[in-house]
Amino acid sequence: LEQAGVHVAYGLVGLKTHSKLSMVVRNDGDQLRRYCHIGTGNYHPKTARLYEDFGLLTCNPDVGEDVSNLFNVLSGYSRNTEYRRFLVAPHSVRSGLIERIDREIVHHREGRPAGIRFKCNALVDEETIDALYRASAAGVPVDIWVRGICSLRPGIPGISETIRVRSILGRFLEH
């Protein structure tokens, strides 16, 4: 990528960077517009056909601002930890997830559509698991896809009976 003139940020020393983001800034007449791709997979042509991944391509201004801010943090130009839409570890993932889980509990209690679909590499955080148990106890349906270890116990009456956990292994394992 660098040989093609792309600025590549490798992250900060002491902090594992695990994100798949790209942004193209385009001059659209009288304004600059940011086109962002956020994905779960690597940008690697040899593995692109082997894995199933999710990608979002957007020019939403809030997402563009978040991607710009995150790039500035990862490249050392900023220390900003506030984002409009993103949950970024180690600052806001846990609190943001719990806030969203609690919001689904409120929706369910108010008779509005509610549900949680959660996909992760591992689920071991006790506070997040407790929030998912609270959601299940309130009657919120919860579907979790976890690649690795999962400390949550689904199907316990009164505690986690609305939680379903799935793990995909073998040749269909996502990277």
Q: Spell out the domain ranges in the chain.
A: 2-74, 93-172
Q: 172 or 6, which is more confident?
A: 6
Q: Residue holding tokens 């956990």?
A: 165
Mean pLDDT (whole number) for 13-35: 88
Short-list 36, 47, 41, CA closest to 18 = 41
* pLDDT at residue 35, as a whole number: 97
Please give the share of the chain, as a percent, with pLDDT higher than 90.
Answer: 59
Mean pLDDT (whole number) for 94-110: 98
Mean pLDDT (whole number) for 160-166: 97
Superfamily the domain 2-74 falls into: Endonuclease Chain A (3.30.870.10)
Of 7, 18, 37, 175, the catalytic one is 18
Same CATH topology for 2-74 and 93-172?
Answer: yes
Asked whether the CA dihedral 175, 14, 92, 97 is positive or negative, the reply is positive
Whether 18 is catalytic is yes
Mean pLDDT (whole number) for 36-62: 83
Q: Give the side-chain half-sphere CA count within 13 A for 18.
A: 8
Mean pLDDT (whole number) for 116-129: 94
**What SS3 class is residue 170?**
helix
Superfamily the domain 93-172 falls into: Endonuclease Chain A (3.30.870.10)
Mean pLDDT (whole number) for 73-88: 88
